[in-house]
Amino acid sequence: MAVELTRRAAAGALVGGLLSSRSFAQQVPKQEVLIDFFGLAAHNWQPVIDKFQQDYPTVKIKFTKFSTDELKQALRVGASSGKMPDLWWNWGGSLASPYNQAGLSVEITPAMISSLKLDEFLIPAGIELHKDQGKLYGIPHRIGPFSFFYKKELFEKFGLKPPQSLAELETIADTFKKNNIVPFSNGGKFSWMTMRYFDFFLESFAGPAGHDALLDGKASWKSEPVTKAFQKLKDWADKGYFNAGFLNVDPSVSVTMLYNNSAAMVFESITTETNRMAREGQDPSNFGTFPLPTGQTPRRVPGSPSQIQISAKTSKDKQDAGLLFAVYVAKPEIAPFTNANVGFPSATKNVFPTGNAPSSRQWAEWIQADIGLYRLTDQGLPQNVVAAFFEAQDSMLLDMISPAEAGADVQKAIEKNARR
Amino acid sequence: MRSSPQISEEIKPWLFAAPAALIFLVVLVYPMVYSIYLSLFQWNGVSSTKVFVGFGNYIELFTDNRVFWIAFKNNVIWVLLSVTVPTGIGLALALVLNTGFAGTALFRSVFYFPAILSMSIVGLIWSWIYHPTLGLLNQTLHALGWTWLELHWLSNPRIALYSVFVSAAWHNAGLPMLLFLAGLQTIPKECIEAARIDGATRAQIMRFVTIPLLRETTLIVIAITAINSLKVYDIIYVMTYGGPANQTQVLGTWMYFLTYNQNEVGLGTAIAVILFVMTMLFAVPYARYMARDQ
Amino acid sequence: MPRASRFRVGSAGFYTLIGVGALLWSTPLIVLLFTAVKTPGDFAQNGALSWPRSLELSNFSEAWRLGIKTYFMNSLVMTVVKVPTGIFICSLAAFAITQMRMRGANALFTISLLGMIVPMQMTLVPLTILYQQIGAIDSLVGLFFLYLGFGLPIGILVLRGFFRSIPRELTEAAFIDGCSWWGVYWRVVMPLAKPALVSLLILDAISTWNEFILAQIFLRTESQRTLPLGVVMFSGEFSTQYNLLAAGQLITIVPVLALYLFFQRYFVHGLAGAVK
């Protein structure tokens, strides 16, 4: 008996020692651990999970995939009943904040950051992007920039080049409009795709510092840049820059208008290249991309955090196993595989796409170099203010309120929220 | 059996009803009461503390929530349309199909078919039909040359609710049709026969015999339709998501968005309670009518 | 009168009229059917309503393979277990209310009608909290009890209406012959109620098969999902492959359609109890 125990302990120590050199001294469970993991259907996690389970046979991960709004809802329902999955993928900002502030997600303390060597292998800006009130509550694995994709064939046909300014972009749009091609394919049904255009105008008119101040509630939305941004959005809609009836169009079909040349550009997450175009039989090299011509320095684009969060309410061994997985997928030797499946650009240093993904490669370089990131309005503002923003934006597009009134409505919601 | 004490005879019916009563208590009664309790708190659904605000949520809805009144108005419109249009179609179909011509069963199945589809599928199919450029409706109108009628069916706030209603009516006409057919079967053949012998025309029989005798069925159909249409939710959720700019919200969807998208559990449950009270206005007379003694 | 007689019941004009009406009424389904058997290219080029160039039955097997199979099986098991159980419980309650001189019968019935009134969303948060405490989240078994609960009111309503039309003398005669209450219920009332039971079976099977909101909240992992939920997930994942989507949707329709067609002769007669 005693001998048996010692032998097991020795074997355990040996295995643990071997693994620890690879996994930054993390606990590898000796007995089988089963963890639940929620994520988006658009992200192809299963191959990454399979690879992980081969390396760590004692951990079994049950992955459940959701669409965008369903994941948000599944997490909210889980939180309101006090039960989250053991592990979940999440955006950041106000979409993650309620869980962080309610103590439902494990905080990745500065001590953990250094013992897990996250500060060594992750891009510093990536860690910063994921922080909530200065603290980290998940392991980042991707930085999700958004920008314009365009159909190269259409640009070539009319002798157009990627724009350097907002005015140039409008000239391009006019050209397409005149030739009966929709300049921008917009899926406005849930309001957040239209919002991307507003954010772009706001960044252009308020500048990086002004834009951040508006999102932080430190500057009033009853101000000129906000009104100008709403006005510009209205102008674009009135000039027919968006597809007919876009306010009810599902955002998931917007990229397909580029496939058959009925639209020229789309404002999308860069992962669209690997997660949509390539999987839907399109050759990614038929599409080009350019950073937003904001005319500001630093030049910024919207960026969404992309992190795995760990439940603070689950058992210790599940937390350990969850952390093991969350760190594993971001490690330098695994990240290329992770991002190839889940999407680029990686949050891990020096990880670039291989294969036919020119836009992703381009963006990975831009992000690791000098392009900055700003928060999308729907992650920057609290969720009930976001609802007021969506209503104001769409009401303005429907001529029910003026651009100035739209800004005032958002300001009113911000003040009301602050009083709570 | 009959020798068992009286008390046992009192309990026996409840033994039969026990499974239903028990499930009912847990699945319906307890959550209802708990929801009323929740509607008195401000709670984001996540944090462990709830702030008691009394009727604050109700006051906020009535005085400071513009969309609540849009949803309220839309709900009223929806109920009024629902008790007339699909019910009328159902009645008309039932009267025609009750005449017993050859092929009745086939036509009955055809007209009932949409009713067996799930609302999410109905919403999806009709969204394709209404698509502004690729949809069947606008393409047909275009081919006919009626370009002035090529509207943005689901994104024009003035017509979006009605566009959704058409798809709902397509789905919802089946049940009234069946209920009316069932009601027509309860009309004694002798009444019709007697009227015919008295020389009444088909139209006169319809007007003076059939329709009056359907009064009871009609009341029940209207009550059921009103109750169900007050709770309308899934078709609007699928087709417009309450948009554009919340102009097609109804109470059911607005409750959902407040609770699950804006983390306002208190406001959301308050709407649920309001909706419940509104439904009671139709349901109490109906329930008393149904529970009447023979 | 002569003008009206052109469309007299049974005349050619009448059949034309109702035929055209039926065709228009079916257009959305014809679109669905055509889309489901088209190749993506055919759909993109010729739109939804054109006659399919080829019969692409592989859309169905593809949709089945890509996930519809799991959802279908879950829905099938749920419906097959839930519907008879629910009807059994409803019939017991309706029997007690109508035949047994039950004290509080009207109260129970009125309260059960209340169940038809409660907006389902009103129960979601409390039920999630409750289900969490007893560990019934994300299980078909847990969902089964919710379906039982929400199916009760309509079931009791339909069966009560029918049971009421059974003369008391009949049951009392059986009683005198030495039957127990159970015997009266099982051997006298239930066989008489066959038409009502069949209509309820169809109604309940359809609503169980199509239920979405509860499944959306209470089921999470893929292996547990039922069809309506799965089809929406499927729509999210294959949002642009209309032919696969349509095929998946058609697969979900077939079982309830078959059920309805098979039992429809009982259907109208059985519902009579609900409207009097």
- Evaluate if residue A2 carries a pLDDT over 50: no
pLDDT digits (tens, 9 = 90+) for C41-61: 777 667 666 788 888 888 898
Which residues in chain C are closer than 8 Å to B179, comparing Cβ atoms? 271, 274-275
The reply to whether A3 falls in a domain is no
Computed from CA positions of residues B48, B49, B55, B60, in that sequence, does the dihedral angle turn out positive or negative? Answer: negative
Number of domains in chain A: 2
Q: Which residues contact B185 (CB under 8 A, 6 or more apart)?
A: C268, C269, C272
Computed from CA positions of residues A175, A177, A179, A182, in that sequence, does the dihedral angle turn out positive or negative? Answer: positive
**Is any Cβ of chain C less than 8 angstroms from the Cβ of A280?**
yes
- Evaluate if residue A66 carries a pLDDT over 90: no
> Cis peptide before A345, with omega less than 30 degrees from 0?
yes
Give contacts of C 199-218 with A, CB under 8 A. Answer: 216-217
Which residues in chain B are closer than 8 Å to A79, comparing Cβ atoms? 45-46
The reply to whether A334 falls in a domain is yes
Which residues in chain A are closer than 8 Å to C232, comparing Cβ atoms? 67
Stretch (H or E) spanning C267? helix C242-271
pLDDT digits (tens, 9 = 90+) for C201-215: 888 998 899 888 888
Q: How far is B73 from chain C (nearest CA, A)?
A: 18
Burial class of residue C85 (count of CB atoms within 10 Å of its CB; 0-12, 13-18, 19+): middle
pLDDT digits (tens, 9 = 90+) for B103-129: 888 888 899 889 888 887 888 889 888
Q: What is the pLDDT of residue C40?
A: 74
State the pLDDT confidence band at C3, using cuts at 50, 70 and 90: very low
Q: Are C274 and B216 in contact (CB under 8 A)?
A: no
Mutate to test the interface with C, among A45, A64, A254 (most CBs of C within 10 A): A64
Residue numbers of the domain that contains A37: 13-144+304-372
Judge if A42 and A121 occupy the same domain: yes
Amino acid at B157: P
- Evaluate if residue A113 carries a pLDDT over 90: yes
Give the mean pLDDT of chain A: 89
Q: How far is B157 from chain C (nearest CA, A)?
A: 24
The domains of chain B, with CATH numbers, are: 73-290 (1.10.3720.10)
Judge if A261 and A405 occupy the same domain: yes
**Chain C nearest-CA residue for B17:** C93
Q: Are B46 and A102 in contact (CB under 8 A)?
A: yes
Judge if A255 and A354 occupy the same domain: no
pLDDT digits (tens, 9 = 90+) for A346-375: 999 988 888 888 999 999 888 878 888 999
How far apart are alpha carbons A222 and A220 in whole angstroms? 5
How far apart are alpha carbons A98 and A95 in whole angstroms? 7
- Evaluate if residue A14 carries a pLDDT over 70: no
Amino acid at B231: K
> Cis peptide before B244, with omega less than 30 degrees from 0?
yes
The reply to whether A5 falls in a domain is no
Tokens of A408: 């005032």
Q: Are B216 and C272 in contact (CB under 8 A)?
A: no
How far apart are alpha carbons B87 and B214 in whole angstroms? 13
Q: How far is B269 from chain C (nearest CA, A)?
A: 6
Nearest to B31 among C10, C123, C249 (CB): C123
The reply to whether A63 falls in a domain is yes
Judge if A120 and A265 occupy the same domain: no
Q: How far is B23 from chain A (nearest CA, A)?
A: 21
**Is any Cβ of chain C less than 8 angstroms from the Cβ of A201?**
no
- How far is the first Cα of chain C from the last one, in angstroms, to the nearest whole number? 35
pLDDT digits (tens, 9 = 90+) for A18-37: 443 333 457 788 889 999 99
Amino acid at C159: L
How far apart are alpha carbons B117 and C206 in whole angstroms? 8
Judge if A29 and A138 occupy the same domain: yes
Interval C193-206 mean pLDDT: 86
DSSP C60: H
**Is any Cβ of chain B less than 8 angstroms from the Cβ of C125?**
yes
**Chain C nearest-CA residue for B230:** C119
- Residue owning tokens 């580029």: A258
Which residues in chain A are closer than 8 Å to C128, comparing Cβ atoms? 77, 80-81
Q: How far is A24 from chain B (nearest CA, A)?
A: 33
- Name the pairing type of β-strands A287-290 and A139-151: antiparallel
How distant, in Å, are the alpha carbons of A53, A87, A335, B43 from that of A320?
15, 11, 20, 31
Which residues in chain A are closer than 8 Å to C125, comparing Cβ atoms? 80-81
Q: How far is B10 from chain A (nearest CA, A)?
A: 40
pLDDT digits (tens, 9 = 90+) for A234-282: 999 999 999 999 999 888 888 888 988 999 999 999 988 988 888 778 8
**Is any Cβ of chain A less than 8 angstroms from the Cβ of C11?**
no
Chains that touch B (3 or more CB pairs under 8 A): A, C
**Chain B nearest-CA residue for A83:** B46
Q: How far is A110 from chain C (nearest CA, A)?
A: 33
Q: Are C107 and B24 in contact (CB under 8 A)?
A: no
**Is any Cβ of chain C less than 8 angstroms from the Cβ of A69?**
no
Q: How far is A171 from chain C (nearest CA, A)?
A: 30
**Chain B nearest-CA residue for C124:** B31
- Residue owning tokens 């069916």: B153
Residues paired with A219 in a beta bridge: none
The reply to whether A1 falls in a domain is no
DSSP C166: S
Mark yes or no for CB contact C29/B113 under 8 Å. yes
Which of A357, A372, A387 marks a domain boundary? Answer: A372
Judge if A137 and A243 occupy the same domain: no
| HEC sequence for A223-281 | CHHHHHHHHHHHHHHHCCCECCCHHHCCHHHCCHHHHCCCEEEEEEECCHHHHHHCCCC
Judge if A253 and A398 occupy the same domain: yes
Return the top range by mean pLDDT from A214-228, C100-114, C200-214: A214-228
How far apart are alpha carbons A316 and A398 in whole angstroms? 52
Total CB pairs under 8 A between chain A and B: 89
Judge if A297 and A354 occupy the same domain: no
The domains of chain C, with CATH numbers, are: 2-46 (no CATH), 60-275 (1.10.3720.10)
Give contacts of C 77-106 with B, CB under 8 A. Answer: 89-90, 92-93, 95-97, 100-103, 105-106
CB atoms within 10 A of CB B37: 12
Mark yes or no for CB contact C269/B34 under 8 Å. no
Mutate to test the interface with B, among A66, A182, A191, A247 (most CBs of B within 10 A): A247
Mark yes or no for CB contact B280/C117 under 8 Å. yes
Q: Give, in degrees to the nearest 5, the angle at Cα A174 between A170 and A180.
A: 140
Mutate to test the interface with C, among A43, A83, A311 (most CBs of C within 10 A): A83
Judge if A341 and A412 occupy the same domain: no
State the pLDDT confidence band at A200, using cuts at 50, 70 and 90: very high
Amino acid at B195: A
How far apart are alpha carbons A148 and A305 in whole angstroms? 19
Mark yes or no for CB contact A394/B47 under 8 Å. no
The reply to whether A394 falls in a domain is yes
Stretch (H or E) spanning C225? none
The reply to whether A101 falls in a domain is yes
Judge if A136 and A280 occupy the same domain: no
The reply to whether A254 falls in a domain is yes
Judge if A221 and A140 occupy the same domain: no
pLDDT digits (tens, 9 = 90+) for B161-210: 999 999 999 999 998 998 898 888 878 878 888 888 888 887 888 888 88
Q: What is the pLDDT of residue B219?
A: 84
Mark yes or no for CB contact A245/B42 under 8 Å. no
**Chain C nearest-CA residue for B220:** C275
Among the listed residues A323, A363, A324, the one whose alpha carbon sits nearest the alpha carbon of residue A346:
A363
Mark yes or no for CB contact A260/C44 under 8 Å. yes
**Is any Cβ of chain B less than 8 angstroms from the Cβ of C262?**
no
Q: What is the pLDDT of residue A394?
A: 96
Q: What is the pLDDT of residue B215?
A: 83
Mark yes or no for CB contact C152/B179 under 8 Å. no
| HEC sequence for A298-330 | CCEEEEEEEEEEEECCCCHHHHHHHHHHHHHCC
Which residues in chain C are closer than 8 Å to B23, comparing Cβ atoms? 89, 145, 148-149, 152
Lowest mean pLDDT among A142-151, A240-249, B216-225, B280-289: B280-289
Interval A66-82 mean pLDDT: 78
Q: Are A293 and A165 in contact (CB under 8 A)?
A: yes
| HEC sequence for chain B | CCCCCHHHHHHHHHHHHHHHHHHHHHHHHHHHHHHHHHCCEECCCCCCCCEECCCHHHHHHHHHCHHHHHHHHHHHHHHHHHHHHHHHHHHHHHHHHCCCCCCHHHHHHHHHHHHHCCHHHHHHHHHHHHCCCCCHHHHHHHHHCCHHHCCCCCCCCCCHHHHHHHHHHHHHCHHHHHHHHHHHHCCCHHHHHHHHHCCCCHHHHHHHHHHHHCHHHHHHHHHHHHHHHHCCCHHHHHHCCCCCCCCCCCHHHHHHHHHHHCCCHHHHHHHHHHHHHHHHHHHHHHHHHHCCCC
Q: Which residues contact A397 (CB under 8 A, 6 or more apart)?
A: A194, A233, A234, A237, A247, B244, B245
pLDDT digits (tens, 9 = 90+) for A283-311: 999 999 999 999 998 899 999 999 999 99
Express the helix, strand and coil content of chain A in percent, nearest 5 each.
Answer: 50, 15, 30
| Residue predicted with more confidence, A322 or B223 | A322
Stretch (H or E) spanning A184? strand A182-184
How far apart are alpha carbons C172 and A232 in whole angstroms? 81
- Domain holding A240: CATH number? 3.40.190.10
Among the listed residues B132, B157, B152, B123, the one whose alpha carbon sits nearest the alpha carbon of residue B237:
B123
Q: How far is C240 from chain A (nearest CA, A)?
A: 6
Judge if A152 and A39 occupy the same domain: no
Which residues in chain B are closer than 8 Å to A190, comparing Cβ atoms? 241, 243
**Is any Cβ of chain A less than 8 angstroms from the Cβ of C85?**
no
How far apart are alpha carbons B57 and B275 in whole angstroms? 14
Among the listed residues A135, A169, A123, the one whose alpha carbon sits nearest the alpha carbon of residue A367:
A123
